[in-house]
């Protein structure tokens, strides 16, 4: 193979496949922004939990707290935006199978891998983990760490789709149900009650319903063009800064609830704060789509699920390498390296797995469109060499 063709054939992050799509680019931009912020939080608390003196660098905590609160609601809104189109194109059965393939299966696979690694290393880390943790992936996911999100996303999608198709509930009724559920979650959190997976289902159902309600607007290209404007973004940015300043001050003095104080004890302020943050993120994504800049955010956004699944495992491995083997002691450098690794390495691993036909690590259904595109690309390269 000629050197030029060899270089062209290297696509470590599958960019050609991802960037070929030209419609609703803002969705991947939005997910990219969100998963980067999620990785920031995971990196901070992982280092803190492993004895790194993060209090010596208070700006890390302040930034993480300031940008907290709207990241996870945004993922539920985006998923809700897509449900009606998906049900129209696939039908209920195919939609539910897709949720099993692409959400429940990664939850069980990567949650199981993470728990297994924790059990193996428990004698050295004194981690509070038992074989019962496997069951918690379903019934009490908060006990397994960040996998609560995939649990809630799966069950909310199933419940919402059944109510939408079988009982023919409108988006307005679903919003009312979401408000009731959100009130229940608020009561549970305010009174420090335990409800397992039901707490997150109740808390985030509303955001999923909001996504479905606005889907006809936000998937309308004319609307997106109309509201792709600095006149929208800048006022939202000013409001966001004001709200997040108050939000951050409350969470920094949140007592035992810590960074979750507003979310747990002031649910209606949390709802308002989350919606302002989500609106700003969407507005920024509209602008990025318009100017076609920072395309790497789209690539990251496409991989957001796989990054989320592997992030804690990768960050812990890289923490050991950077601290114990490479002896890196500079905390800002260490933070930057682990934060970046927790995003880049899962993307690399996923695409290498696909090249090795190990797609079964992430889904029950082979992503045939990826392989068809790769085959067509190889064919075009071969023809270009002649």
For the chain, the distance separating the N- and C-terminal CA atoms, rounded to the nearest angstrom, is 11
Instruction: Give tens-digit pLDDT for 218-251.
Output: 988 888 888 899 999 999 999 999 999 999 999 9
Other CB atoms within a 10 A radius of the CB of residue 364 amount to: 14
pLDDT of 380 over the 90 cut: no
Q: How confident is the model at residue 51 (pLDDT cuts 50, 70, 90)?
A: confident
Work out the percent of the chain whose per-residue pLDDT is above 90.
76
Report the length, in residues, of the chain: 386
Q: Among 330, 351, 324, 253, which Cα is nearest to 10's?
A: 351
Min mean pLDDT across 23-27, 165-169, 215-219, 225-229 is at 23-27
The reply to whether the predicted model has a pTM over 0.95 is no
**What angle (nearest 5°) sits at the alpha carbon of residue 286, between those of residues 284 and 289?**
110
Q: How confident is the model at residue 256 (pLDDT cuts 50, 70, 90)?
A: confident
Using CA atoms, how far apart are residues 364 and 97, in angstroms rounded to an integer?
10
pLDDT of 376 over the 70 cut: no
**What angle (nearest 5°) sits at the alpha carbon of residue 300, between those of residues 137 and 263?**
50
């Amino acid at each position: 193979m000629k050197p030029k063709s060899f270089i062209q054939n290297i696509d470590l992050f599958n960019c050609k496949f991802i960037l070929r799509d030209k419609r609703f680019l803002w969705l991947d931009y939005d997910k990219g922004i969100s998963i980067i912020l999620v990785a920031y939080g995971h990196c901070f608390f992982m280092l803190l939990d492993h004895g790194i003196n993060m209090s010596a660098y208070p700006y890390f905590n302040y930034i993480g707290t300031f940008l907290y609160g709207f990241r996870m609601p945004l993922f539920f809104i985006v998923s809700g935006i897509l449900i009606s189109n998906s049900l129209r194109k696939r039908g209920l059965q195919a939609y539910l199978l897709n949720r099993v393939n692409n959400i429940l299966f990664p939850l069980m696979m990567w949650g199981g891998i993470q728990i297994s690694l924790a059990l193996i290393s428990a004698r050295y880390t004194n981690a509070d983990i038992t074989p019962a943790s496997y069951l918690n992936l379903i019934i009490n996911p908060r006990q397994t760490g960040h996998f609560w999100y995939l649990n809630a996303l799966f069950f909310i999608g199933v419940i919402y789709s059944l109510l939408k198709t079988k009982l023919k509930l409108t988006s307005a009724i679903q919003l009312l149900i979401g408000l009731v559920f959100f009130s229940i979650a608020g009561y549970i959190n305010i009174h420090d009650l335990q409800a397992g997976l039901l707490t997150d289902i109740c808390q985030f159902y509303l955001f999923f319903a909001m996504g479905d309600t606005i889907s006809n607007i936000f998937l309308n290209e004319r609307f997106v063009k109309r509201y792709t404007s600095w006149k929208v973004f800048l006022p939202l940015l000013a409001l966001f800064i004001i709200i997040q300043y108050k939000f951050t001050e409350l969470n920094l003095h949140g007592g035992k609830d810590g960074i979750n104080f507003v979310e747990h004890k002031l649910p209606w302020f949390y709802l308002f704060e989350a919606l302002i943050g989500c609106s700003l993120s969407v507005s920024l994504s509209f602008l990025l789509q318009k100017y076609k800049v920072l395309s790497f955010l789209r690539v990251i956004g496409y991989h957001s699920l796989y990054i989320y699944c592997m992030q804690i495992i990768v960050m812990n491995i890289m923490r050991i390498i950077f601290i114990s083997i490479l002896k890196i002691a500079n905390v800002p450098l260490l933070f930057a390296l682990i934060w970046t690794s927790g995003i880049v390495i899962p993307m690399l691993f996923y695409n290498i797995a696909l090249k090795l036909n190990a797609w079964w690590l992430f889904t029950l259904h082979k992503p045939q469109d990826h392989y068809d595109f790769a085959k067509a690309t190889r064919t075009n390269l071969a023809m270009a060499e002649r």
